[in-house]
Structure formats: C-alpha cells, structure tokens
Amino acid sequence: MNRIIDYGVHLTSEEDKEPSHFFDDESTICKELIHFYQRDREQRFFIKACYLHHLLDFFKETHINLTDINQVFKRFLRDKVISQIKDKYGNVISFEKEIKEIFRLVSDNQDLLFKDLKGSYLTRLEKRTSIKNGENSNNNEI
C-alpha cells in the first residue's frame, strides 16, 4: 500500500516547505498536521479528517482487542500520532479538542464501526478467540 498517496503527504512539497522549525523528526503525521493546519486554521476539517483516517487505519493494523475502545484510543495516541505541533514562532498548537471530538464520534458509533470492520479483521479475530477458548476445535482455519 502506498501510504504517501493515502495520507496526502504528496501535498506537502519541499519547495513550499518552511525551514524545519516545527519538530526535528518531522514524521509523516507531523508533516500532514502542519500542512493541513496551514490550509484550515479555523475549523480544522482537514485535521479531523487526518486523525480519523489514521485512526481507521489503526483499527485495521492493531493486534489489541478492538472492543476495548478506550484502550485502542490510548494506544493510538501513544503509538501512531502526535497531538500537537509548533508554529514558526515556537507556539504550541494543540489538537486535543479535535482528537477528543473524533474519539467521541467513534465511541458513539462503535456498533457501526464494528459492523464495517467485521468483514475482514473482526471475523479473523473471532475465529482465533473461539479456537483459543476451545470452541469450534475441529475447525483449524484462522
């Protein structure tokens, strides 16, 4: 999978990039947040879409129990994204409000999310769990 196309990093070209004063590492998520913040500083629709996109990918990538949604959120914040950037003046720009809004949206719609995920990932998870618990022991398919 070409993650550059998926996440829109190609929109942040080197020629219009300001000197590296945000974060020294400038990870992919950092570059995305900088770019999308510059495009929409007020309503931050692009920021919300960026976090939601990464969160949905995290649901597909993670090996933790998805039904423990709070644990998923904690691990997402710890392992996948950053919650703030710095502007060229050194001011910290926090996206905590946007992250909480995304988490609330996903929490309120867990059943729809799990229904969508059930097709591929959750079906495999259910089979593993049932085999581990001794159910359906004749079926070795995972």
109 has a pLDDT exceeding 80:
yes
Torsion of CA 28, 31, 32, 35, to 10 degrees: -170
Contact 29, 54 (CB under 8 A): yes
For residues 24 and 128, which has the higher predicted lDDT (pLDDT)? 128
pLDDT at 96: 97
Q: On the CB side of 128, how many CA atoms lie within 13 Å of its CA?
A: 9
Provide the sign of the torsion angle of the four alpha carbons 10, 53, 56, 113, taken in this order.
negative
pLDDT in tens, 17-62: 444 344 445 788 999 999 999 999 999 999 999 999 999 999 888 8
* Backbone region of residue 62 per phi and psi (left: phi > 0; alpha: psi in -120 to 50; beta: other values): beta
* Residues 116-136, mean pLDDT to the nearest whole number: 60
Average pLDDT, the chain: 77
